[in-house]
Amino acid sequence: MTDQISPSHLDGDPNWWSQASIYQIYIRSWVDSNGDGIGDLRGVSSKLGYLAWLGIDAIWLSPITRSPNSDFGYDVSDYIALAPELGNDSDFEALIAKAKSFGIKVFLDIIPNHSSSKHPWFIDSRSSKASKYRDYYVWAPPKSDGGPPNNWLDGTGSSAWTLDDDSNEYYLHNFLADQPDLNWWNPAVHEEFEKILTYWFDAGVDGFRIDVAHGIYKDRYLRDDPIAIADVMDAPFGVAPIFSKNRPEVHGLYRRWREICNEYDPPKVLLGETWVNKPETLARFFGDGDELQLTFNFGFTTSLFEPTAIRRSIMGAIGGLPMGARATWTGSNHDISRFGSRWCNKDKDKIKVALALIFMVPGVSVLYFGDEIGLADSDLDDADLLDNMSIQARKRIGNEKAFLRDRVRTPMPWNSQVNRGFSKGDKTWLPISDPIFGDVEEQIADHSSILNWSRALISLHSEISLDAKIEEIVFSPVQWIYRIDKFLVNVTYSRENLYKTDRLGFDHLELIMTSLGMDSHGGDAKNDDLASHREPVVRGAGEEIPPGLVGVGPTDEAHLEGPFAVEIYRIIGQPNDVR
Ligand code: NOJ
Ligand code: CA
């Protein structure tokens, strides 16, 4: 399947990222090459052929540099040296070379908001108020009552300030106390990170996903954050982080970083982890085309998977983009519940619809590893939990509200061998859950699998032109039909409400994919037309559409509870003259 794949068609294109499919690899959980139970760089290299087969244009690797692993790589103790448990320099070079041979680009994660408390900068900074590194971090004296300088909260819901007894000053940490925030008001910090960016770009990295991209600068006056109002997304503990994060000065930083990116040919790419709610706030991160090329659109990720909400989120995100900018779509990542659970309640049909909505859109689509086989959140015993941030947050805000991130970090199930092909070791760092819809090997062999569905969508995604827009054709509470470029996407929320697409005035539509008739709903079809197309799931171009496939006309009844379905048609003929 794998090694004869030719380099991606995007190779050499300076705008290769514009309509890319990116695959997020949480490296500890993807492939373990040496049996220590932890995924690693060699493991990634060994499976790049799989990603090429899937049609992936770029990978984003979760952090790979040295870390005490309080937050598994997001607490960095060296921004250049690799984490020994993940591999060495030659493993990294081999990965870059192999990725290149497949035409797969490589994003690393950069963590400029904070380092580890074990980073030599912080150790020195803490050693004395006179340290050369003191101002690399945010230090402030206690309030008159001895308490922390302000009301800012960290990622666990506790005060974001920890007192250093020796100097009687507090240091700031927006995440764990082991993750002191860097002080971006200090030009020396800028210089350090410019060196870090350049180091990795020169080593062949194509871009960075920027951790906490909206949060790097803090208010110069350390003003209290206000109580959260409804439209603040990143406010899990009821306080709106408008002073502890989200400061406008960050845009100057990104303009500078973009200049560095543009010194390369093709230019390097920046993808921000931008937890902001409003499309207009997100738009600012593109600058005038001189800041980040890409920004995660978490308004989509956190939308309800409900017809009106998801459509509004997609259309709103596209509408809010500045001229020429591309949206970035994702359903899951290593911090939040997987969409297979969160949106789809482990329903195979809904997972297929969700994947279609992630890919049949203009812009960049990002899969979190395992989403392509429909992984759901794992059920773990408390004894297995390792993620400090969510364990501490759970203590503070209770089981219900705190999502346990370990549940989406369990290793990838590749096949039926020991440890599901993830590792040959005796024990894996987190336990492996059984995949509901089969492992990778099983799904490769099953043409109606979620994996083959994902692969077909990734291929269509790459056909969408860079100036494609969504043109809405039908929208009702039970139906959304839109045209994107040469495709017509028919999202239905009830089997009874399939729209007769032959009424839409298109000259000729060729059905190329349908999620309908999946086994999970076998036997409950309400009419013969539906029952007749249980078989075909992914159709090759040029195949005839069997009669009756366009279904029945709409009824007045809304069945919002009903299964979701999606059909994708190719518009044949004169696309500009179809209506
Ligand atoms: C966002 C990352 O995605 C998350 O995993 C991490 O814990 C925080 N930033 C802190 O780095
Ligand atoms: Ca390993």
Domain boundaries defined on the chain: 21-115+187-463, 469-517+559-578
CB of 74 closer than 6 A to ligand 1? yes
Residue nearest to atom 8 of ligand 1 (CA): 74
Each residue's pLDDT tens digit, 463-494: 999 999 999 988 887 788 999 999 999 988 76
pLDDT, mean over the chain: 88
Distance 65 CA to ligand 2 centre (A): 14
Q: Which atom of ligand 1 is nearest to the CA of 174?
A: 10
With a 6 Å cutoff on the Cβ, whether 111 touches ligand 1 is yes
CA distances 538 to 55, 96, 225, 241, 451, Å, are: 16, 33, 51, 45, 11
SS3 category, 411: coil
36 lines ligand 1 (CB under 6 A): no
User: Which residues have beta carbons under 5 A from ligand 2 (an ion)?
Assistant: 32, 34, 36, 38, 40
pLDDT tens across 116-148, in order?
999 999 999 999 999 999 999 999 999 999 999
Q: Has 471 been annotated as catalytic?
A: no
Domain 21-115+187-463 has CATH 3.20.20.80: yes
Given a cut of 70, is residue 4 above it in pLDDT?
no
- pLDDT > 90: what percent of the chain? 77
Confidence band of 327 (pLDDT split at 50, 70, 90): very high
Q: Give the pLDDT of residue 499.
A: 57
Going by pLDDT thresholds of 50, 70 and 90, the confidence category of residue 9 is low
Q: How far is the CA of 334 from the centre of ligand 2 (A)?
A: 19
Residue 268 CB-density burial (10 A; 0-12 exposed, 13-18 middle, 19+ buried): buried
| Catalytic-labelled residue, pool 109, 181, 211, 349 | 211
Distance CA 299, CA 344 (A): 17
Mean pLDDT of 161-166: 98
pLDDT value at 536 more than 70:
no
Residue closest to 293 by CA, chosen among 274, 316, 313: 274
Give the separation between CA 579 and CA 571, rounded to whole angstroms: 11
* 209-219: average pLDDT: 98
Name the least confident of 139-148, 176-185, 313-322, 484-493: 484-493
CA dist., res. 63 & res. 210, Å (int) = 11
Residue 134 alpha carbon to ligand 1 centre in Å: 24
- Cα dihedral sign, 505-508-513-518: positive
Q: Could you tell me if the CB of 211 is within 6 A of ligand 1?
A: yes
d(CA 275, CA 99): 29
- Give me the amino acid identity at 109: D
Q: How many residues does the chain have?
A: 579
Q: Which band of pLDDT confidence, cut at 50, 70 and 90, is reported for residue 258?
A: very high
What's the CA gap between 268 and 14, in Å, rounded? Answer: 9
**Whether residue 71 has its Cβ less than 6 Å from ligand 1:** yes
CA of residue 428 to ligand 2 center, whole Å: 9
When mean pLDDT is compared across 226-230, 318-322, 418-422, 572-576, the lowest value belongs to 572-576
Tokens, residue 4: 């004869």
Above 80 in pLDDT, residue 549? no
Q: Which atom of ligand 1 is nearest to the CA of 176?
A: 10
Burial class of 12 by CB neighbour count within 10 A (0 to 12, 13 to 18, 19+): exposed
Sign of CA dihedral 111, 115, 116, 120: positive
pLDDT of res. 398: 81
pLDDT for position 496 = 60
- Name 191's Cβ contacts closer than 8 Å, sequence gap at least 6: none
Q: Is 233 in the pocket of ligand 1 (CB under 6 A)?
A: no
Is 22 or 2 the better-scoring residue by pLDDT?
Answer: 22
* Mean pLDDT value across residues 422-436: 97
Name the closest-CA residue to atom 2, ligand 1: 211
Q: How far apart are CA 310 and CA 307, in angstroms?
A: 6
Q: Is 92 in the pocket of ligand 1 (CB under 6 A)?
A: no
Catalytic site includes residue 561: no
Ligand nearest to the CA of 212: 1
